[in-house]
Amino acid sequence: MISQLIEKIQKTKAPVCVGLDPMLSYIPDHIVKKALEEYGETLEGAAEAVWQFNREIIDHTFDLIPAVKPQIAMYEQFGLEGLAVYKRTVDYCREKGLIVIGDVKRGDIGSTSAAYAAGHLGRVQVGSSSLSGLGADFITVNPYLGTDGVKPFVDVCKKEDKGIFVLVKTSNPSSGEFQDRLIDGRPLYELVAEKVTEWGQDTMDGSYSNVGAVVGATYPEMSRILRKLMPNTYFLVPGYGAQGGTAEDLRHCFNDDGLGAVVNSSRGIIAAYRQEKYSGFGAQRFGEASRQAVIDMAEDINRVL
């Protein structure tokens, strides 16, 4: 699966992932108004607004990018109706030829992780039928429970040619609270990084493993060390743009071959129309604003590679 992502990155010349994290406050009024007029102030109405918003952004960006990353929490907040739009978004993106990274951050004891892995990446057995539930290409995984909580995801990666990105060093302000604490003189995130390499050893797909790592753009010194520690691990890099990470900060996430990382931007792309820089598009043309923001982001990153 990672080789497919790399191929698309090379084709689009954009190591960019669009984060489909549609808070209602990001969605232009005319879309929300129309959805709520049709469905009322209901979860269904909110979900419809999210869907119309997503579709417009996907239609305006899919030819420029390799991947999208829907954040499932933004759908779960609207209950079952929101989750139906999560699946609809995943399916629509895959139809458009995009790699879908489900940002679900799941992780549990072995048997439970196996159920998550089946539902999000693999297949579940019902009688003699083998069925797909939510059907992403990659998902993000939380490592706090250790190897037996991650292994079931790796097993599905092998069986179904899928991939995961394990949280190593996250982009948020308090990520250091536990992740940076020193164990035998080395921060916890380095220990997790070593395990990620180990978990990925049997899933090599070209020069990189199908077990990747989440490494935040907001801590460039740490990403420099992690890049060296995990040469064959692809990085999913959140934190660019709205969270404060700059293109300069990203440089260390890449290997010398210009590969090794895919950089996510959510708000910076999907709510671009609200930025001064793109205000000329106006709320009606928010999809075009997102398209321009993708072009600018790819250029910004390619500048430092």
210: helix, strand or coil? coil
Judged by beta carbon, residue 66 or residue 143, the one nearer a second copy is: 143
Q: Which residue has the tokens 């960019």?
A: 16
Estimate to the nearest angstrom the gap between the alpha carbon of 148 and the chain centroid: 23
Judged by beta carbon, residue 9 or residue 222, the one nearer a second copy is: 222
DSSP 85-151: HHHHHHHHHHHTT-EEEEEEEE--SHHHHHHHHHHHTS-EEETTEEE-SS--SEEEE--TT-HHHHH
Nearest to 267 by CA among 240, 302, 247: 240
Is position 105 annotated as part of the catalytic site? yes
Interaction with a second copy in 208-227: which residues (CB under 8 A)? none
Minimum separation from the CB atom of position 259 to a second copy (A): 26
Nearest to 270 by CA among 242, 301, 300, 247: 242
Minimum separation from the CB atom of position 258 to a second copy (A): 28
Q: Which residue in the list 105, 159, 162, 228 is annotated as catalytic?
A: 105
Interaction with a second copy in 76-115: which residues (CB under 8 A)? 76-80, 82-84, 87, 105-113, 115
Judged by beta carbon, residue 6 or residue 192, the one nearer a second copy is: 192
What is the C-alpha to C-alpha distance for residues 251 and 62, in angstroms, rounded to an integer? 25
What is the C-alpha to C-alpha distance for residues 65 and 148, in angstroms, rounded to an integer? 34
Q: Which of 133, 275, 285, 305 binds a second copy (CB under 8 A)?
A: 133
Q: Which of 144, 159, 201, 282 binds a second copy (CB under 8 A)?
A: 144
132 binds a second copy (CB under 8 A): yes
16 binds a second copy (CB under 8 A): no
Q: Looking at 41-49, 91-99, 270-278, 293-301, which segment touches a second copy (CB under 8 A)?
A: 41-49
Q: Which of 3, 12, 13, 24 binds a second copy (CB under 8 A)?
A: 24
Distances (CA, A) of 236 to 49, 50, 152, 285, 300: 28, 24, 20, 29, 17
Q: Which of 1, 9, 16, 21 binds a second copy (CB under 8 A)?
A: 21
Interaction with a second copy in 286-305: which residues (CB under 8 A)? none
282 binds a second copy (CB under 8 A): no
Interaction with a second copy in 55-74: which residues (CB under 8 A)? 71, 73-74
Q: Which of 10, 172, 201, 279 binds a second copy (CB under 8 A)?
A: 172
C-alpha torsion sign, points 136, 138, 144, 147: positive
What is the C-alpha to C-alpha distance for residues 36 and 282, in angstroms, rounded to an integer? 21
HSE (side-chain half, CA atoms, 13 Å) at 229: 23
124 binds a second copy (CB under 8 A): yes
* Pair of tokens at residue 24: 């209602």
Minimum separation from the CB atom of position 31 to a second copy (A): 13
| Angle made by CA atoms 57, 61, 65, in degrees to the nearest 5 | 135
Q: Which of 46, 101, 217, 294 binds a second copy (CB under 8 A)?
A: 46
197 binds a second copy (CB under 8 A): no
Residue 68: left if φ>0, alpha if ψ -120 to 50, beta else—which one?
A: beta
Q: Which of 143, 200, 260, 287 binds a second copy (CB under 8 A)?
A: 143
Residues with catalytic function: 105
